[in-house]
Structure 1
Amino acid sequence: MNDRRLTEQVRIVGSGLLGASIGLGLSARGVDVIVDDASPSTRGLAIAYGAGRAPAPDDAPGLIVVAVPPDVTADIVAAELERYPEALVTDVASVKLAPLEQLRARGADLSRYLGTHPMAGRERGGAVSARADLFVGRPWIVAGHDGISYRRAAAIEDLILDLGAVPIEMDAADHDRSVALVSHAPQLVASLLAARLRGGSAAALGLSGQGLRDTTRIASSNPALWVQILGANAAEVAEVLRPLRDDLDAVIAALDDPEAPASRRIIADTLAAGNDGVSRIPGKHGQDGRFTALVVKIDDKPGELARLLTEIGEEGVNMEDLRLEHSPETKVGFAEISVVPEAAHPLATALEQRGWTLMEAER
């Protein structure tokens, strides 16, 4: 492709999920991407998937992307700044203040460093899970600081835009505070809830629905990586969890004595506060808003889901989201289709006329 913004040779250090996905996306646009990694086998796997090529003696990268765990990010950034004195260096670690402070303390050339963080990922890591479109439509934080000019950092914005992401400027401290709320604390909450399932009986777990899957999905994330992320942003995460703990204690007390005068109000207020909070989560393309879900029963056989999606398109309806659930006892599945509210009733009517069975959405 020749419509890319980025013209520099790009070197990626670290070939896990993010590094390999960046490499795949840039390579698909014709960028000369160099992939390096402390592990030759990990690097070889990313190259085999198409994330770039192996390093060569005459490489002269204009932009270097460091995609390594948070506990070694500053070390690798400093080494790359020294090795390539003309290159601009960024990192994609999920914490931003600690690496910046560490680099400043060791006297690194901050005029060529700008930390960033793509708000994208998957539960499974590694190059085998990498996708060229991982960042499309996702926010990508640019953690600016006084040591670098906007013009010097232009290639980083070009990279972000070439990968289809949305650059958002935010200083390092605000970034860490924000991701503690929307990413790091939710990871712990999901993991704590999922851990309760270890003692559940097979009969109980067989009743699991989409609500449980939604609230525990990210609990399958890599523990070793998350220990590093949470350790690097520990203070901000703790600030989110303390009031959550207080709220949970109040709900437990209300459940211990549900007939007490204030108990039902405490429970109701807690649920209502959750309604308010979830309504603030941005929807598709960043706008605030809630969508209406239609649940369609589909036979668990080849071609049925494709037929459903085709017929939704034929009705002229834009699908905002899709989730699938399989029934553990029968050969049917359920497709939860999210659409804008005004499209819900006409689409439901049309699908029923086409022979589909609609169910009530689980809450």
Structure 2
Amino acid sequence: MTKSNPFKFGSVVDEPFFTDRNNELQKVKNVLQSPNHLILISPRRYGKTSLILKAVKALHRSYLFIDLQLVTDTADLARQLLKHIYRLFPFEKVKQYIKHFRVIPSLNINPLTNEIDISLQPAFSADFLLEDVLNTIEKLGTPDKRIIVIIDEFQDINHIEKGLDKKFRAIVQYHKNVNYAFLGSIESMMREIFEKKKSPFYHFGQIMPLNKIPEDDLLLYLNERLTEVCSDKEAGLQILNITKAHPYYTQQLAFTVWDICRADKKISNPVKCATDYLIQIHDIDYERLWNNQTQTDKKVLIALANNESNLLTGTVLNNYGIPAASTAYSSLKKLMNKGLVLKSDTGYQLDDPFFAGWITMKRNSIFQ
């Protein structure tokens, strides 16, 4: 019997937890082996980060990874990039480039973390620093060993500073020794950045949407790992019926089912037990999330929790007290930008199936 749980979620996934994605992996590698740039788009927790890092490691290339959601301003972006440069290249080599910066930062090694601490003088130009740092990455790369710069949640670039996309594009458009990989979780915003003609990044690279793993492949993956501990042969299918094949939530539910079954292999309906458990442990988080929504947004969330994917039809709007399709659409757009709602070929759905379950459970408990 497997000694440890074979399912993993919540962090970067690699072998043996990496699930399929062989075609997508090859496509990513193909782009990064060319002089072109990659734009990878998918909802949060679909596995973008795991996929890109697996590709980079397979190519044996140096890379930098920045998450724009954690960046506070232009200077902070430059500092974070510079820290990554120091992790990749010898200290003395990098110093030779920094001494030519227009804004020369003070560098110290933190004795507790062994990381570089970067401080800047007052009234410095953050734009000059960012340009010098990005151009240093270009100088450290070569045509045969291009550095890969991965920037996650790239749709947030103008939240950091208005017009930062124009400044960034003006610098990197001349780079030949770097592959840029821009990852984003809000498709509408990413497509506006890379497909709108007036955008600075119009047609900057190869756009690649990352879809769900095909259900048949995911079911096979689940069944192979659940069989040894779970007597319920329908468990894998039941998991997918709840998670709708969302990669993160499928792994999370399967992980919990595996643990429950290992403790009691003959347990009745382990998927329901696992689902109830996950809803229960996130009760406070879901309550806080619910209370932060407007009344209209709550009505939309209730409808989606009840699997009303065609929310904009007159009958559905009337049933949930939503005054007009335009009102519902505005709410959906806002909820999608928050990452709470996804749009697919079949309509709209809640991203988190356990939040949907929480809404249904709470509303049903009112009438019990």
Q: TM-score, normalized by length of structure 1? A: 0.28
Q: TM-score, normalized by length of structure 2? A: 0.28
- For CA contacts below 8 A with separation 6 or more, give which structure has more relative contact order: 2
